[in-house]
């Protein structure tokens, strides 16, 4: 399953943040990483079913009918992602939207075939 390969990717991404973004406390980063890792199998499953997609700003978007609990999980994931993106932007002096677009490009490259992605112009497509 794709989630097994993404967990090290997320951990590596968040470790890089710890080094690059000293104002994000290690404890906060650990909590974010743990929450993201816990949610990853469900998120991957929903993406594989075509119910979630990755936006061109590195967030998740609901593309089908999901439960209230799953919707809460997506909102929590997007909140954690925004916390990370904002902190990177703060520390690097880049606009938040640039950080988001860079991460969206990384996510598009590593997404499994069939996952819904949004291009730079906002058009949705399924990865081949």
Domains of the chain by residue range: 2-114
Q: What integer pLDDT is reported at residue 71 of this predicted model? A: 99
Q: What integer pLDDT is reported at residue 12 of this predicted model? A: 54
Beta pairing, strands 124-126 & 60-62: unpaired
- Burial (0-12, 13-18, 19+ Cβ within 10 Å), 22: exposed
Four-residue CA torsion sign, 83, 85, 90, 96: negative
Q: What integer pLDDT is reported at residue 19 of this predicted model? A: 53
Q: Which residue reads 């404890």 in tokens?
A: 27
Strand partners, 61: 53
Check if the beta carbon of residue 114 is closer than 8 Å to that of residue 127: yes
Q: What angle do CA 31, 32, 36 make, to 5 degrees?
A: 120
Find the farthest-apart pair of alpha carbons in the chain and give their distance in angstroms, rounded. Answer: 39
Q: What integer pLDDT is reported at residue 10 of this predicted model? A: 59
Contacts of 103 (CB under 8 A, 6+ apart): 58, 81, 85
Q: What integer pLDDT is reported at residue 25 of this predicted model? A: 74
In terms of pTM, does the model score above 0.95? no
Q: What integer pLDDT is reported at residue 1 of this predicted model? A: 47
Taking 50 as the pLDDT cut, the residues of the chain under it are 1-3, 5
Beta pairing, strands 116-118 & 52-54: parallel
E strand map for the chain: 52-54, 60-62, 116-118, 124-126
């Amino acid at each position: 399953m794709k989630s097994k390969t993404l967990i090290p990717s997320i951990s590596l991404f968040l470790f890089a943040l710890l080094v690059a973004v000293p104002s994000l406390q290690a404890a906060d980063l650990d909590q974010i990483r743990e929450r993201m890792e816990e949610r990853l199998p469900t998120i991957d499953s929903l993406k594989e079913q075509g119910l979630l997609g990755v936006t061109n700003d590195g967030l998740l978007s609901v593309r089908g009918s999901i439960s209230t609990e799953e919707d809460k999980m997506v909102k929590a994931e997007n909140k954690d992602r925004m916390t990370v993106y904002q902190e990177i932007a703060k520390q690097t002096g880049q606009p938040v939207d640039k950080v988001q677009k860079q991460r969206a490009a990384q996510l598009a490259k590593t997404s499994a075939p069939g996952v819904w992605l949004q291009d730079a112009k906002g058009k949705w497509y399924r990865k081949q």
